A and B are shown apart, each in its own frame.
Chain A
Amino acid sequence: MSEHKGPSRRMLLGAMAAGGAAMTTGMARAAGDPAITELQPWMRSLGDGVDAHPYGMPSPFEAHVKRRNVEWLTADPVSSVNFTPIHELDGIITPNGLCFERHHSGIARVDPSLHRLMINGLVDREIVFTMDDLKRFPRYNRIHFLECAANSGMEWRGAQLNGCQFTHGMIHNVMYTGVMLRDVLAAAGVKPTGTWLLAEGADAAAMTRSIPMEKALDDCMIAFKMNGEALRPEQGYPVRLVVPGWEGNMWVKWLRRIEIGDQPWQHREETSKYTDLLPDGRARRFTYEMDAKSVITNPSPQAPLSHGKGPTVLTGIAWSGRGTIPRVDVTLDGGRNWHQARMDGPSLEKSMHRFYFDFDWDGRPLLLQSRAHDSTGYVQPTKDALRAIRGPDSIYHNNGIQTWHVDERGEAENVEVG
């Protein structure tokens, strides 16, 4: 040990004696990458001890990785939306603090000791549960994506927002821990006439959605944890509904009440909103399922190719409200030729999937697209194919293929091709 230490110490002393200048000056003269040849401060001095950050936060160098909103979209941030920075993430799990937010009357700050869940209507027993009661039902863990029905809704008339965070960021994918809705409903005893339920939130919008009983008994959950920890306030703390594969608006946050009835309630969020107006002036309603969709997250306008030509990792995400994503195709030339991407990571029902395409970029402009296939055989359509059926005014459920144009510098832009 001491033998190894000796020479380097002598060298340092010599360098200091010779120049008389600051040590770093001497080091900088050494040939090579200063990241290597210079002693970095974090290798010299001590860092924070444990408990400096009892709840850990990302490195300050990651401070730009955050949810962002588009101010002109809505009248007020209290009834608005922001977007997940999907271009900064990898794998399939969205960190809790980066899950996009959508509130109708702001974030309800609910005291869990004062939170109740009531089941009423067409049941044998109208029941009230405390949070402690809910946690005594058998618990399950499920990874599901939540996508707002309006994700990509600003793109119906053509390429508009320059970044996948804004075009596709109304989505997150987390592991929920909670109880099955069917178990909670069984405790109340749903009457045979009970074919619909109304989920209601405890926020200042008292958000409501009607949900068919069949779905409620299938895979809906009442969740109190996301990615292992308590739901974030902006995601419905202390408890939210999980409606796998269906539009995010139905996943009522701050869930306070479930009423059982024999018909849908036709409330604001299922008539005035979240209905899809088609060119004939009539609108589809109850368009619950999210169609198969994918997007290339890197490169993309907020994540250009900065390394020049050579080995390049293209990656993106894909999901379907009807099952899994066994396959994603990628094109580099605007759809002339397609290549099957490599799926990696868990493939779970109604969950986000990760794909990669590793290629040797020749430095020439690219027109990148991805096309998801889901387990039902459905293939993600082009935007033109969607518009041919739905026109430009249906707002919701835009799952069309996204195109990024990458120029010689590696800068990417949201474009459409024809």
Chain B
Amino acid sequence: MSRSVERRTRFAIALCGIAVAATAIAPEMPSRLMASFTMTAQAQTVPTGEELALGRLATPDEIAAWDIDIRPDGAGLPDGSGDVWTGEELYVENCASCHGDFGESIGRWPQLAGGQGTLTRDRPVKTIGSYWPYLSTVYDYVHRAMPFGDAQSLSDDDVYAITAYLLYLNDLVDDDFVLDREALAGFDMPNVNGFYPDDRAETEFGVFSAPICMEDCRNEVEITARAEVVDVTPDDETARLAREAAATGENSGITEADAQVTTPDGAAAPTSDPDLIAQGEGVFRQCKSCHQVGEGAGNRTGPVLNGVVGHQAGAVEGFRYSGALEKKAEAGLVWTQEELAAFLTAPRDYLPGTKMVFRGLRDEEERAAVIAYLQSIEE
């Protein structure tokens, strides 16, 4: 054996250290040790959770801080109350930007009101009034998850008031209605009897366990529906190129850059183009649910936007910005056309932690238009 071969052999032994050592030791192992090895190979009695005594007792304050759930019988409801009119104010401020002023919904956000009597129709409208079996669910959900992006920020009275207003929007109470713990626990929702437990075992299993056919099971087979006609599937050019390249064995020309989304550089928008400004006004409709502009505009879910272009960021009086935006503002961010365009392209990528839930304007022209529109509004 040459020196290099010897060295290599040693290296191999070192790499497989554990296995080699085990084989070497086993024959010389005292029988008692062997026995214990054998025993560990068998199933060990696993300690139960009860025996382990892990964790520590929760304090009453800790439980109170986290135990926020509400049940149909009213368990968990706090003291407090709220009326319809207070609820309307809170709703307009906190909820209407997504759910609409009358609970009719904006875009694909959930519709909260209406739909009564539609459950047996084609395309039923499932709302709080038409579908939800328990009012406690509204209180529980609004408190734990709403407003979207600012969860658990509403006071108990606020949640009672918003819940009262949602009943009013569904024509289930009059405008002088006041909701509190007793009223909520005893409130009968119209669709409370519209639910029954899973009965698939009785209604389906038998049918779907019937003997099957393997040969000559049917005569005519006709295509009755086609996805290509519906044409709602997202396209994926990169995947198609990769597939075709794999099929032909040719170089696809795909690079890592192709996997990234590229956005063209936003050109500075001409500010005096009336067509562009008009287009921007149209685009701004998407922003209107949260932002106001013009005379008498005020802060809503988002800050007032008069004079925002060219202005220092985070500077609207009385608006509570996200920590992320405040940081940027302290660092001296100015909403130049370029910065604003970058923000509007993908708000949460540009400013992780922003309160703005808008998904962004992908279209460069739309960005330029809305910026031109904002520029056209005097401060």
Contacts and interface: CB of A to CB of B under 8 A. Distances in A.
A325 to B, nearest CB: 14
B77 to A, nearest CB: 13
Interface stretch (B86-94, B117-125, B268-276, B304-312): B117-125
Nearest to A416: B225
A313 interface: no
B30 interface: no
Interface stretch (A8-16, A61-69, A229-237): A61-69
B186 to A, nearest CB: 15
Contacts of A333: 221
Given A187-B50, A189-B50, A208-B69, A285 B197 contact: yes
Contact of B254 (A63, A68, A302, A334): A63
B223 A127 contact: no
Given A68-B236, A414-B227, A417-B224, A282 B98 contact: no
A413 B228 contact: yes
B357 A76 contact: yes
A378 interface: yes
A275 B63 CA distance: 30
A206 B68 contact: yes
A285 B192 CA distance: 12
Contact of B226 (A33, A120, A185, A413): A413
Interface residues of B, number: 100
Interface string B4-45: 000000000000000000000000000000000000000000
B50 A161 contact: no
Contacts of B144: 205-206, 208
A64 B242 contact: yes
B141 A186 contact: no
B209 interface: yes
A63 B217 contact: no
Interface in A76-96: 76-79
Given A61-B242, A417-B221, A263 B71 contact: yes
Contact of B221 (A71, A185, A335): A335
Contacts of A267: 69, 137, 140-141
Given A128-B56, A281-B120, A266 B228 contact: no
Contacts of B247: 306-307
Contacts of B217: 335-338
A64 B134 contact: no
Contacts of A286: 197-198
A284 B194 contact: no
Task: Say whether chain B's binding surface is mostly helix, strand, loop, or mixed.
Answer: loop
B288 interface: no
Nearest to A73: B108
Contact of A416 (B198, B224, B357): B224
Contact of B151 (A205, A257, A268): A205
Contacts of B204: 381, 389
B259 A63 contact: yes
B346 to A, nearest CB: 10
Contacts of A105: 145, 148-149, 151
A287 B56 CA distance: 35
B52 A126 contact: no
Contacts of A186: 48-50
Interface residues of A, number: 117
Nearest to A78: B357
B187 interface: no
A279 B219 CA distance: 30
A242 interface: no
Contacts of A348: none
Contact of B205 (A33, A120, A329, A378): A378
A378 B208 contact: yes
Interface in A243-265: 256-257, 259, 261, 263, 265
B212 A118 contact: no
Interface stretch (A48-56, A132-140, A352-360): A132-140
A281 B117 CA distance: 9
Contacts of B107: 75
A194 B8 CA distance: 64
B207 A301 contact: no
A361 interface: no
A367 B232 contact: no
Contacts of A66: 259
A268 B141 contact: yes
A24 interface: no
Contact of B98 (A75, A257, A275): A75
Given A105-B149, A267-B141, A286-B198, A127 B48 contact: no
Interface in B197-213: 197-200, 203-205, 207-210, 212-213
Contacts of A261: 71
B134 A266 contact: yes
B287 to A, nearest CB: 14
A125 B209 CA distance: 46
A3 interface: no
Contacts of B119: 277, 281-282
A183 B49 contact: yes
B320 interface: no
Given A60-B254, A160-B232, A378-B209, A277 B227 contact: no
A336 B218 contact: yes
A112 to B, nearest CB: 16
Given A160-B230, A187-B53, A336 B221 contact: yes
A377 B210 CA distance: 9
A204 interface: yes
Given A208-B144, A282-B195, A389-B203, A335 B218 contact: yes
A71 B234 contact: yes
Given A74-B108, A128-B58, A271-B132, A306 B98 contact: no
A155 to B, nearest CB: 9
B183 interface: no
Interface string B109-148: 1000000000110111010100111101100110011001
B67 interface: yes
Contacts of A180: 49
Nearest to A291: B200
A111 interface: no
Interface in A369-397: 371, 376-381, 385, 389, 392-393
7 contacts: A133-B54, A200-B69, A204-B151, A277-B131, A329-B212, A337-B216, A338-B213
Pairs of residues from A and B, 9 with the lowest C-beta to C-beta distance, nearest first: A183-B49, A306-B247, A186-B49, A63-B259, A334-B221, A414-B227, A158-B225, A281-B120, A64-B239
